[in-house]
Each structure stands twice: as structure tokens, then as C-alpha cells.
Amino acid sequence: MVKHELPELPYPYNALEPHYDEQTVKLHHDAHHKAYIDGLNNAEAKLAEAREKGDFGLVKHWERELAFHGSGHILHTLFWESMKPGGGGPATGKIAELIDRDFGSFDNFKKQFSAAAVAVEGSGWALLCCNPTFGKLEILTAEKHQNLTQWGVIPILALDVWEHAYYLKYQNKRTAFVEAWWNLVNWDGVNSRCKCTCEA
């Protein structure tokens, strides 16, 4: 069975300063993201063992672990790719047109996305997703990593609002972290992931 591995960051640990501090980026990537990969590998191994033994007594537990850790790995990878040094500013390219179409303006989108991020209960994410079924962009939140989503959506922009994502620099000031994060958004990456799946 092929094991999942921690992907390297697309930039140095200190590259997102001053908006995202080096210490947090290193801890977040090397410890927290890695823990989801370890949990994902363990869940897949346990499910493989269950199939070999024909013993599915704990299948509910290990499939929940698979969903939690697998979603954590996927969303963390997207989170790192959603930022870049010197990023931020208004959306550009095709995604800018789609944001104007589906939210009325970039300012409307930014306000809604920020409000969604700040309002996440407990630990979770704010996500911009393409919904090919509806042919439009959606802003969704995810509690933990896998709850409150829609089937079939494709996340193209992710903001991690678990406390471990910002607590060292911003402490309990999630709103301040969300505001700072807008200076890092990698719109080129968002455009590369969108691939016109949001068009009706």
C-alpha cells in the first residue's frame, strides 16, 4: 500500500512574514499537517487489515478516521497552495469574472468569505468552492475537516481557522488573522484549480 507523505511547502517557512509568522508556519506544517497524514496512513492500514481478516467490527471508527484525517491532509495541502509571498489584492483572471457574477463584486465576496471564516464554530475552514452541479461558485465552511460540505464541490481556496493555524501570533484574535490572510491569497493558484468547472 502506497503511503501518503507530507508535501513540501511551496515557499520557505518565513516567506509569508509579516502576515503569517515563521514559527507558526513551521509548527503548523511540520507537526499538525504531518499528524493528519500519519492518521490517514494508519486508518488506511487498519481498513486494509480489516479486509484481510474479514473483521469489520471497527469499520465505522476507521472510516471516520479516514474521513477526518484524509480531509485534513487535502485541505491543509490546499491551504498552503492558497497563499504565496507577495499575494493578496483583488482576484484576477477568470476567477475575478466568476466572483463578480456569483457574488456581485469582489468586495461582496471578501466580506462574505471573511464573515464565514470568523463565524466557524470551534475548529474548521472557510472554503471557496466550484460547484459543477449548480454551475457556480459557493462559499462553504467545514467544521473539523469534513462536516458541512456539499457533495461534488471542488475546493479552490482554503482558509484554515483552527486555532493552531494562528494562535502563536494572533492568539484568540481570529478576525485579525483573517484580515491579514487576505494579503497572502494566491489568485494564480485559485485560477489554476478552477478550470471553468463553475460555469453554467
Binding-site residue ranges: 28, 76, 160, 164
Q: Which residues are annotated as a binding site for Mn(2+)?
A: 28, 76, 160, 164
Short-list 102, 104, 147, CA closest to 128: 102
CB atoms within 10 A of CB 82: 25
The rounded distance, in Å, linking the Cα atoms of 35 and 151 is 26
The rounded distance, in Å, linking the Cα atoms of 28 and 167 is 10
The 10 Å CB-count burial string (b at 16+, else e) for 25-45 is bebbbeebbebbbebbbebbe
